[in-house]
Structure 1
Amino acid sequence: MKITSLIIGALILIIVFNCQSEPVKELGRQSLLFNDNWQFQLVKNDSLVPETLDFSEWKPVQLPHDWSIEGDISVDNLSGHFGGYYPGGIGFYQKTFEYDCNWKNRLISITFDGVYKDSEVWINGHYLGKRPNGYIGFTYDLTPYLKEGSNNIRLKADNSKQPNARWYTGSGIYRNVWLKIKDNISVIEDGTYINSNNITTSNANINIESTIGNINSKDASVHISLEVFDMDNHLVAEKTIQRVLSASDTIAIKEHLIIDNPRLWSPETPNLYSAVQKISQNGKVLDTYKTTFGIRNIRFDAETGFWLNGENIKIKGVNNHQDGGAVGAAVPDDVLRRRLEILKNMGCNAIRTAHNPFSPEFYQMCDEMGFMVMDEAFDEWIASWPWENYKNKGKVPFGYHLEFDKWANKDLKDLILRDRNHPSIIMWSVGNEIPDQCYPEGPKRLKPLLDLVHKLDPTRPVTAGCCFMHLANDTGFSNLLDVAGYNGGGGSVFYEKDKAIYPDRKFIATEIPHSFQTRGVYKTHTEMRSPQQGINVPNLTKEEVFPEFSEFYSSSYDNSSVRISARDSWRRTDSLPYVAGEFRWTGFDYLGEGIKGWPSRLWNFGILDLCGFPKDTYYFYKSQWTDDPMVHMLPHWTWPGKEGKIIPIWTYSNSDEVELFLNGKSLGVKSNAGKMNLSWDVPYVPGELKAIAKIKGEVVAEQVYKTSKSPVQIEILVDKDKLLADGLSCAHLEVNILDEDGNFVPYANNLLTFQVEGPAINLGLENGDPLDLSSNKINKRKVFNGKCLMILQTTKQPGNIKVKVSSPDLKSEEISILSLESVL
């Protein structure tokens, strides 16, 4: 024991000596990704504190981390259908890190971008605080509690009280963690706000507000420079000022700059600028703070809808939850970017963050890729729905209604301060289907939230997604909103009626339509819940042509929906100039909210499945939202046993006309003018089905389906053949089952085995089947209707990655991916 103590003492002396003797470097502001070398354990006792944990139970994890997606799906899990039957629980995380001598006399903080939920944090045994909200980031100052040598940070995440949301949330530290180091004189966290006005083609006024802090015990005279750069890193504006900062105080600085010939931000031209602030003292740079922003003008009009940079456009949007399918809530950047690219290719120009703040990386990508964003804060406030099964329970028993009174202002303020410089954000939403809207208390609770948002950001309007709009009208709730948000529920699609009563109202469809579809599934009998205004989809045939599909699966004919179909909803939105646009429910299928009950782990509202594979409705929106010529047919043309049966063939196209051919014989030309889709009733005969789209008589696009034979071979399509060996980069492997002629087999359900060799891990396997309860983390998965997806993630070792996919009775297939120290 004495020898051990002497060794430890000597090491401490060496560390102290090193920190005292080493010259301190001028590092400026640093933001270090702090995701490596964490340990984790699940516990059963909610009264445990870090000091009582069993050390032998720790296991290494890489952040971001979602322990729910790693667990077993079970009908006994308390999350129930809301959470997709995934497990919750209580988890502890810890990380030991070494003190850096260059941190002396500097401010050290830690930022967690998202922890679900009820997080508590300790540093070296000192309790830093608690944050109930699982969706908004938070920062703690570590400076007073750090010591030279080893430091230990621990975090508890409590997701044991279930259900606490109406969808899958994930559990744990599921977003990035950052260690931030800066000088005692510096811009405070989220301390810069940039907006623009008086925008013309020749110039734009840029307003920059900053809060700078000085925690030193002495006053300081500082030099502050402001420089603005365009996307090509050209200096386009600059200014310098001198200020005296009082000891232990902050000052607010407001400056105005003019940018000549501004390059405006829009979905088509997502031009970005960066403002760089430098604080210097006696020639030494103390802090450099960079803020990315865009220049654009937004306006909602009661008669003409939405205007961007002087152009009247429709918002073509989707709602999304934050989960990434196979990876749960811990979504790598590459996975998120692929999902956004798929939406962009469909013509989508806007996303509503349903129903909570998303990760910082999401908004950065929307800035760069050109998505407009409705940034939403809450799914509930305090009140409950009047129905007996919800009464006095909130939307779910352990939801945010339990935290609203204490935390709503803090959570909303942090959201606005974090996100208000993003040009992608065009409006704020303070709630979704808030039951309070139906009661007299609703407007009273809404007003302070509106005032807070307007104070922090007077440049953007505020909305809320309202169902039961007639009740929100009666209470005056909807009239307080800058833009009235119409959800599809409870009679909230009566735009014309409300327009007549409230002529000065500004309209946006925040959540409509709600249409169901399961990829590769078709039913010719309509399943419509609560059809309204006589807008219904008739049965496509007298007798159901596809009785073989499970009741848990939904038809892809756009004849399975709530209140209104996708086609009818967009027809109305597009034809009413005062409706600014719509956010359909949803872009992607999402885990949880499986209202049909066990064993469905998801609800298939998405126009893309959990894998990101398009369903047929994806091509409907592509035909309406894009100009590049296209045509899409549904359903496929492989229906053994249905010879002679009449199958409705639909096409979606943005062309003038479409001609359909079966085995080389024309089945007629139909005009697309004024149509959302075209339809032919075709007796099933195996062979080739072809659709040809024409504009002004010229063929501009075509699609061919060939009746497939039995499954024979495996096809692997990979989105990247080179990756960065950084432990973060991902590749997506789309796996298809083909017949001997290379035709896709749309009914295949083969069980595949994936063998991964080299410096990569299986981050998740998924097939999009709502009823497949297999783990995403094992190397086996059935294909669903011919397809499945593997997501690979690199380690930090470079090398060759090989993936072999095999199945009994199928010819196996291999692919190779290079993982490099740097990717050109």
Structure 2
Amino acid sequence: MKSTFFLTSILLLLFASQNLRAQERETDFNFDWKFTLLEDTKIPEQIPMTDNTWRDVRLPHDWSVEFSFDEKMEGCTGYLAGGVGVYQKHFKTPSDKNQKSTFILFDGVYNNATFWLNGERLGENPYGYSPVYFDLTSFLKENGEENVLTVHVDHSRYADSRWYTGSGIYRNVKLITVDKLHIPIWGTFVTTPQVTADEATVQVETKVVNSRKGNSKFTLSTDIFDAEGKVVASDIKELKLSAGKETKISQAISVIQPNLWDTETPNMYKAVSKLMVNNKVVDKYTTPFGIRSLRFDKDQGFFLNGKSTYVKGVCLHHDGGLVGAAVPKGVWKRRLEKLKEAGCNAIRTSHNPFSEEFLDICDELGFLVQNEIFDEMDNPKDKQHNLNEQSVQYITRGYTEHFQKWGESDLKRTILRDRNHPSVFQWSIGNEIEWTYPGYKHVSGLWDPEVKGGYWNKIPDLTADEMKARYNALPDRKYKLAETAQRLAKWVKEVDTTRAVTANLIIPVASCASGYAGALDVVGFSYQIAQYDWCKKNYPDMMFTGNENSGLLSEWLSIIENPMVFSMYMWTGIDYLGESQDKWPQKGWDGDMLDFAGFEKQGWNYFKSIWVNKPQISLGTLPVVDSEFTVDELSGKPVPKSNKSLQWRNSESNMHWNYSDGEMVLVEVCSNLPVVELFLNGVSLGCRSLSECPDRILRWAVPYQAGTLTAKAGFDGARIKAELKSASAPVGIRLTTDKTTLSADGYDVAHVIAQLVDKDGNEVKISNEKLTFSLDGDATILGVDNGSNKSIQDYQSNELLTSQGRGMLLIQSLKQKGSIVINASADGLKSNRIQIEIK
């Protein structure tokens, strides 16, 4: 083996010396676009259009988030408008089209997009979440004239989803130029079928296309690079391919003592594939990947690299607050790093595929990803009020209109793009889809008139056989969910057999009876944790776990108390726009851990104390009268009003110590240490023990007195503490930033946080002021946010009213170096200045 590797390395060095740099395949195609909104949905007769008066935009771009929130719009998509827009880009033909082929790759356009080059129709893509590419070669100009790429986007059905979608070319676009002999887009598939600490087999499957006029002899060389850029293994094959044909080549490459990818040490490798003709590199394709093994056991749960692993997950929607759906990489990275800090190790992309860039970050940070494909299938959902469709309206018609024709293509294109990401460990074919298929409620028996207490977490009164009989007795219907699910699972397996197929089931007992659950490798429950044992007893060969869960301790206990159940995905990790039916001015859904601006909530502290095996302690407060507790007259301790009061309600807890003198305040401490002592102005208020707190929250009832509230706990001979200090009136603004240096690439972002402070520097969280941000230098202000769900201020601004005494400015670099200075001002308040270098 060593001699073979040595000879292979020598050959590769010789090839490299003869061709030091292969031509780069990909060109960033995000800059220098023209954009306009149209008045109606009719596609213009003349394509390309005259665009000299249109706006200049750079991609990714979401035009909906540029609008003001409007009560006349629909809460399901965040009270923001949709519409119809057109994008155009002028560019020169990149190379001789007789020698090279040119493709355009769109990572996501929302939605109902149609594409042209020089007036010639390339095609369409109705689904706003699936990537799509087109071959431009035959339509490119040959005489030096400019080409014009036109994209028409029809989001006039602006309430076509149950959450905020955004509008426009909201993900990256790449121009790809390759030799006529080349590896196509998504043309590699890297798997690791055998993994041990000593050795791993890396299986590289490479597709090669020969669009040359004659037959081609070529060499395929594949190098495996580690994270330090060293070649750790290689393989070379000599091949021949006829004109107009394509082939698939498999290479099994051994990596000795591999650095495995997992959630704690997300080690990455790269497979660099080169096609060489006459010792000249004609194409180079780089595939990042990780070496890891996955195993799902129906009785013992999930194993990553042979190690039993709890999936501590959150569900996320795809918007990033003030940037809408066009989320810069730096915004996602900041948010995911915060989730990681709280112990989260998994993301469910609810309820659609996310961007390629998002998965790159998950690879890098060590998140497991359940990649979800569809929220609608054969039958529509009601967007305005959820469940099955209640009324047929133009504005709410969604993906069901296209599923029969486009479902297979959308699913397979997504999987082909994403299947090399080590973070992706499950494919979810759908979310809570049962509502849309008639009879499922009846099958479960949970909605029968004599059943009391509703269906939520209820053990069925019917037997499994009685449910099957009810299902079989249903009237004939056009679409059967089990058949659709089997078809979808088959499509997944046609392009990837290395990951489990799952779905999120809202009526799992009925889905087991119907055969829907039988199409899945892992049956994911949407909440109904009380039904795990019933389902396992009646369907012992199936594997059940959580795919959507409340942010409650009970959901986490369902995992650690049942070996089969390995996952929870909290709904949701971060606040998101939309799904706010008739709740104006509430524009979105309250998440459990981070708000719209990425500020931590008390739920972040709570789950950090549960998920992170390091000493944790944090403080939260709220008036007793606003809580689920009363105060016992004899002991002075808080007493729950009911058992439900012991469920964590993070939205009620404040992170300040400012109340009226003598007001009775409920103090809540989140900690993983056994005993915590509370102090007010240095005076002990007694200890509480985790052993007496069934929800792992330690509570005191404290008459308010201004000063310092301190929680202390001992650990390993030391003391850790958390403090809240009473604040007086604000006198200043404290600016901080997560970055003091940005790359001059036109993408890098900095989050500038403004916090009101009093004369002693204490954070003021109960007083709010209108702030104006100013920027001196060359950078782009992407917008402002205060994190509040009820804030309907324009995002596209440099002014905002703070919430909890704070606000955020998001800036983005341009493609030029220099310094920028950021200031904030408000009546009667002083602010420091932030300087950021752009290099």
Q: In structure 1, how many angstroms separate the alpha carbons of the residues matched to 2:71 and 2:574?
A: 24
Which of 438, 441, 458 lines up with 2:497 in the alignment? 458
Count of aligned residue pairs for this structure pair: 741
Which of 333, 357, 362 lines up with 1:361 in the alignment? 357
1:49 matches 2:49: no
1:209-224 to 2 correspondence within 5 Å? 209-224=205-220
Q: CA deviation at 1:681?
A: 1.4
Q: CA deviation at 1:774?
A: 1.3
Tell me: CA distance 1:650–1:448, structure 2 relative to 1, closer, same or farther (3 Å).
same
Q: In structure 1, how many angstroms separate the alpha carbons of the residues matched to 2:95 and 2:481?
A: 54
2:559 is aligned to 573
Q: In structure 2, how many angstroms separate the alpha carbons of the residues matched to 1:326 and 1:719?
A: 17
Contact 1:470/1:492, CA 8 A, preserved across alignment: no
Contact 1:375/1:427, CA 8 A, preserved across alignment: yes
1:333 matches 2:370: no
Q: CA deviation at 1:744?
A: 0.9
Q: In structure 1, how many angstroms separate the alpha carbons of the residues matched to 2:655 and 2:588?
A: 28
Contact 1:132/1:403, CA 8 A, preserved across alignment: yes
Q: In structure 2, how many angstroms separate the alpha carbons of the residues matched to 1:641 and 1:60?
A: 50
Partner SS state of residue 254, structure 2: strand
Which of 137, 147, 164 lines up with 1:143 in the alignment? 137
Counterpart residue type for residue 360 of structure 2: Q
Which of 644, 656, 664 lines up with 2:674 in the alignment? 656
1:621 matches 2:616: no
1:423 is aligned to 422
1:117 is aligned to 111
Counterpart residue type for residue 453 of structure 1: V
Q: In structure 2, how many angstroms separate the alpha carbons of the residues matched to 1:786 and 1:715?
A: 11
Tell me: CA distance 1:667–1:367, structure 2 relative to 1, closer, same or farther (3 Å).
same
Contact 1:320/1:351, CA 8 A, preserved across alignment: yes
Query: Residues 73-114 of structure 1, C-alpha deviation per residue, up to 9 Å, x if partnerless?
Result: 11223xx01111101000000111122346551010111111
Counterpart residue type for residue 519 of structure 2: L
Q: In structure 2, how many angstroms separate the alpha carbons of the residues matched to 1:99 and 1:302?
A: 55
2:738 is aligned to 719
2:485 is aligned to 446
2:283 is aligned to 287
2:634 is aligned to none
Partner SS state of residue 378, structure 2: coil
Contact 1:692/1:699, CA 8 A, preserved across alignment: no
Contact 1:316/1:625, CA 8 A, preserved across alignment: yes
Counterpart residue type for residue 606 of structure 2: F
1:188 matches 2:184: yes
1:478-497 to 2 correspondence within 5 Å? 478-488=517-527, 491=528, 493-497=530-534
Contact 1:193/1:420, CA 8 A, preserved across alignment: yes
Q: CA deviation at 1:270?
A: 0.6
Q: In structure 2, how many angstroms separate the alpha carbons of the residues matched to 1:133 and 1:275?
A: 31
Query: Residues 705-747 of structure 1, C-alpha deviation per residue, up to 9 Å, x if partnerless?
Result: 1111111110111011111122111100111111111111111
Query: Residues 247-305 of structure 1, C-alpha deviation per residue, up to 9 Å, x if partnerless?
Result: 10001111211111111110111111111111111122111111111111111222221
Q: In structure 2, how many angstroms separate the alpha carbons of the residues matched to 1:43 and 1:62?
A: 19
Larger deviation, residues 227-236 vs 345-354: 227-236
1:80-229 to 2 correspondence within 5 Å? 80-101=74-95, 104-147=98-141, 148-149=143-144, 150-229=146-225
Contact 1:590/1:606, CA 8 A, preserved across alignment: no
Q: In structure 1, how many angstroms separate the alpha carbons of the residues matched to 2:601 and 2:543?
A: 32
Partner SS state of residue 187, structure 2: strand
1:698-777 to 2 correspondence within 5 Å? 698-777=717-796
Contact 1:467/1:492, CA 8 A, preserved across alignment: no
Unpaired stretches in structure 2, ≥5 consecutive residues: 1-19, 441-470, 472-479, 622-653
Counterpart residue type for residue 115 of structure 1: V
Q: CA deviation at 1:365?
A: 1.1
Q: In structure 1, how many angstroms separate the alpha carbons of the residues matched to 2:616 and 2:189?
A: 43
Q: In structure 1, how many angstroms separate the alpha carbons of the residues matched to 2:394 and 2:341?
A: 35
Tell me: CA distance 1:275–1:389, structure 2 relative to 1, closer, same or farther (3 Å).
closer
Contact 1:162/1:398, CA 8 A, preserved across alignment: no
Tell me: CA distance 1:264–1:26, structure 2 relative to 1, closer, same or farther (3 Å).
closer
Partner SS state of residue 183, structure 2: strand
1:688 is aligned to 708
2:662 is aligned to 644
Counterpart residue type for residue 485 of structure 1: G
Q: In structure 2, how many angstroms separate the alpha carbons of the residues matched to 1:270 and 1:393?
A: 47
Q: CA deviation at 1:430?
A: 0.3
Query: Residues 406-444 of structure 1, C-alpha deviation per residue, up to 9 Å, x if partnerless?
Result: 000000010111111111111100000113566561101
Q: CA deviation at 1:606?
A: 3.6
Tell me: CA distance 1:60–1:242, structure 2 relative to 1, closer, same or farther (3 Å).
same
1:529 is aligned to none
1:587 matches 2:607: no
1:231 matches 2:227: yes
2:699 is aligned to 679
1:274 is aligned to 270
Partner SS state of residue 337, structure 2: helix
2:546 is aligned to 509
Contact 2:371/2:424, CA 8 A, preserved across alignment: yes
The alignment's TM-score, normalised by the length of structure 1, stands at 0.87
2:34 is aligned to 39
Q: In structure 2, how many angstroms separate the alpha carbons of the residues matched to 1:198 and 1:325?
A: 42
2:444 is aligned to none
1:468 matches 2:507: yes
Q: In structure 2, how many angstroms separate the alpha carbons of the residues matched to 1:467 and 1:451?
A: 22
Partner SS state of residue 163, structure 1: coil
Q: In structure 2, how many angstroms separate the alpha carbons of the residues matched to 1:502 and 1:388?
A: 27
Q: In structure 2, how many angstroms separate the alpha carbons of the residues matched to 1:316 and 1:431?
A: 20
Partner SS state of residue 397, structure 2: coil
Q: CA deviation at 1:646?
A: 2.2
Q: In structure 1, how many angstroms separate the alpha carbons of the residues matched to 2:835 and 2:139?
A: 48
Partner SS state of residue 598, structure 1: coil
Partner SS state of residue 830, structure 2: coil
Partner SS state of residue 579, structure 1: coil
Q: In structure 1, how many angstroms separate the alpha carbons of the residues matched to 2:235 and 2:63?
A: 49
Query: Residues 31-88 of structure 1, C-alpha deviation per residue, up to 9 Å, x if partnerless?
Result: 00011110100001211326275645411111111100101211223xx011111010
Counterpart residue type for residue 806 of structure 1: S
The alignment's TM-score, normalised by the length of structure 2, stands at 0.85
Q: In structure 1, how many angstroms separate the alpha carbons of the residues matched to 2:784 and 2:710?
A: 33
Tell me: CA distance 1:388–1:70, structure 2 relative to 1, closer, same or farther (3 Å).
closer
Partner SS state of residue 409, structure 2: helix
Contact 1:103/1:181, CA 8 A, preserved across alignment: no
Query: Residues 362-407 of structure 1, C-alpha deviation per residue, up to 9 Å, x if partnerless?
Result: 1111111100000010011012569997247599831111111000
Contact 1:390/1:396, CA 8 A, preserved across alignment: no
Q: In structure 1, how many angstroms separate the alpha carbons of the residues matched to 2:116 and 2:395?
A: 30
Contact 2:276/2:283, CA 8 A, preserved across alignment: yes
Query: Residues 429-480 of structure 1, C-alpha deviation per residue, up to 9 Å, x if partnerless?
Result: 0000113566561101100111111221111110001102222122121232
Q: In structure 1, how many angstroms separate the alpha carbons of the residues matched to 2:656 and 2:486?
A: 57
Counterpart residue type for residue 282 of structure 1: N
Q: In structure 2, how many angstroms separate the alpha carbons of the residues matched to 1:756 and 1:271?
A: 39
Partner SS state of residue 188, structure 1: coil
Contact 2:43/2:152, CA 8 A, preserved across alignment: no
Same amino acid, percent of matched pairs: 38
1:301 matches 2:319: no
Q: CA deviation at 1:164?
A: 0.7
Counterpart residue type for residue 207 of structure 1: Q
Q: In structure 2, how many angstroms separate the alpha carbons of the residues matched to 1:640 and 1:259?
A: 60
Contact 1:380/1:395, CA 8 A, preserved across alignment: no
Larger deviation, residues 422-431 vs 249-258: 249-258
Q: In structure 1, how many angstroms separate the alpha carbons of the residues matched to 2:50 and 2:105?
A: 27
Which of 260, 263, 287 lines up with 1:264 in the alignment? 260
